[in-house]
């Protein structure tokens, strides 16, 4: 994989990250993943990178059928000077070449409301149903829970293996990310981020805190089942996070068969971006590696990509 400085420069120019994204972040995301290094589609002009689309490998599993190894499509960017030159399509098509060579079955793209329809209409991808964002209401009795800040000691110690002694069980229907202790360690090692793992019986909750204007918001990033059939209610999960982070506001985005209950829907104009999922299957001599038309992603939350 090439030097990441040009990629960081492109992403900072296009997205205006504040603080700027750095090599450490890209090295973590593109190179350190235990599932494999990212397959990066790119377009270059001399020493300047004009296009970037990175496929971060994740393994999705189901109760029936083989695992599907998808590249999580992130950091799609084209240099302003290259817009209208076909750089967008060439970048995406180069990611096909790289991903296919690296053994990926296809792409699960996480896109904003502008680029998702473009991927579906221009590139022929399938647009999946929008996932909802909602505030969870803290109610019900608090069960016993242990709270573990995901610091260096946590990541180097035995607790991740105790939290996930084996891979998370697949959802009862559809596909979900296959989480392991090693994958959890990697994801929680994101440079500059601060996470807490809350263990409540047969589920583990992963959270962080965000500031939304004047509001301090606890964000439920993931519900990790430790056993098949494990469930957490929205009220109990929210109460656990609300008490620990000392805020009544608890946000959840995505879909999880392991989180049962309702919440207060966030208006679409206030929903975090990106919001949409798109999927594309790679093929071998015209034979698709999986059935794109019927793939159902039934477990996908903030922790499954890099929103926080």
Question: Domain of 257: which CATH number?
Answer: 3.40.630
How would residue 271 be classed by pLDDT, with cut points 50, 70 and 90?
low
- Within this chain, do residues 156 and 175 fall inside the same structural domain, yes or no? yes
- Within this chain, do residues 84 and 107 fall inside the same structural domain, yes or no? yes
Res 1 pLDDT > 60? no
CATH code where residue 292 lies: 3.40.630.30
How would residue 270 be classed by pLDDT, with cut points 50, 70 and 90?
low
- Within this chain, do residues 162 and 75 fall inside the same structural domain, yes or no? no
Least confident of 13-27, 249-263, 266-280: 266-280
- Within this chain, do residues 220 and 290 fall inside the same structural domain, yes or no? no
- Nearest of 1, 26, 21, 13 to residue 82 by alpha carbon: 13
Average pLDDT over residues 275-281: 91
How would residue 273 be classed by pLDDT, with cut points 50, 70 and 90?
low
The reported pLDDT for the residue numbered 2 is: 64
How would residue 252 be classed by pLDDT, with cut points 50, 70 and 90?
very high
- Within this chain, do residues 25 and 47 fall inside the same structural domain, yes or no? yes
- Within this chain, do residues 281 and 252 fall inside the same structural domain, yes or no? no
pLDDT in tens, 61-78: 999 999 999 999 999 999
Q: Which of the two residues, 277 and 118, has the higher pLDDT score?
A: 277
Residue 186 lies in domain = 133-268
- Within this chain, do residues 117 and 231 fall inside the same structural domain, yes or no? no
Q: Prior bond to 210 cis, omega within 30? A: no
Report how many domains make up the chain. 2
Name the average pLDDT for the chain: 93
Neighbouring residues of 57: CB distance < 8 A, sequence distance ≥ 6? 33, 35, 36, 37, 38, 39, 69, 70, 71, 72, 102, 104
Q: With left for phi above 0 and alpha for psi between -120 and 50, is residue 150 left, alpha or beta?
A: beta
- Within this chain, do residues 250 and 276 fall inside the same structural domain, yes or no? no
- Within this chain, do residues 193 and 118 fall inside the same structural domain, yes or no? no
- Within this chain, do residues 108 and 138 fall inside the same structural domain, yes or no? no
- Within this chain, do residues 162 and 246 fall inside the same structural domain, yes or no? yes
List alpha helices for the chain, DSSP H.
5-15, 23-31, 87-101, 115-123, 152-156, 159-163, 181-188, 234-245
Token pair of 170, please?
């697949």
The reported pLDDT for the residue numbered 135 is: 96
- Within this chain, do residues 246 and 169 fall inside the same structural domain, yes or no? yes
């Amino acid at each position: 994989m090439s030097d990441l400085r040009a990629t960081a420069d492109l992403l900072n120019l296009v997205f205006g990250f504040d603080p700027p994204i750095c090599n450490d972040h890209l090295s973590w995301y593109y190179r350190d993943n235990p599932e494999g290094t990212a397959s990066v589609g790119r377009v270059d002009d001399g020493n300047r990178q004009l296009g970037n689309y990175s496929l971060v490998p994740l393994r999705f599993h189901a109760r029936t059928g083989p695992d599907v190894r998808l590249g999580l499509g992130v950091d799609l960017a084209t240099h302003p000077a290259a817009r209208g030159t076909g750089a967008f399509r060439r970048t995406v098509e180069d990611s096909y070449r790289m991903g296919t060579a690296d053994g990926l079955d296809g792409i699960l793209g996480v896109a904003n409301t502008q680029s998702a329809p473009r991927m579906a209409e221009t590139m022929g991808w399938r647009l999946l149903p929008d996932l909802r964002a909602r505030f969870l209401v803290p109610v019900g009795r608090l069960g016993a829970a242990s709270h573990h800040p995901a610091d260096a000691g946590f990541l180097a110690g035995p607790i991740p293996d105790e939290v996930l002694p084996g891979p998370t069980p697949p959802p009862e229907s559809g596909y979900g990310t296959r989480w392991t202790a090693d994958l959890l360690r990697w994801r929680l090692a994101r440079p500059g981020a601060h996470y807490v793992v809350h263990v409540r019986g047969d589920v583990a909750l992963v959270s962080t805190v965000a500031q939304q204007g004047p509001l301090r918001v606890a964000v439920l990033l993931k519900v990790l089942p430790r056993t098949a059939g494990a469930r957490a209610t929205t009220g109990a999960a929210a109460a656990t996070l609300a008490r620990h982070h000392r805020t009544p506001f608890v946000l959840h985005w995505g879909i999880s068969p392991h989180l049962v209950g309702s919440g207060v829907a966030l208006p679409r104009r206030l929903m975090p971006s990106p919001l949409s999922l798109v999927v594309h299957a790679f093929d071998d001599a015209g034979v698709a590696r999986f059935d794109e038309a019927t793939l159902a992603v039934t477990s996908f939350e903030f922790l499954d990509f890099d929103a926080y």
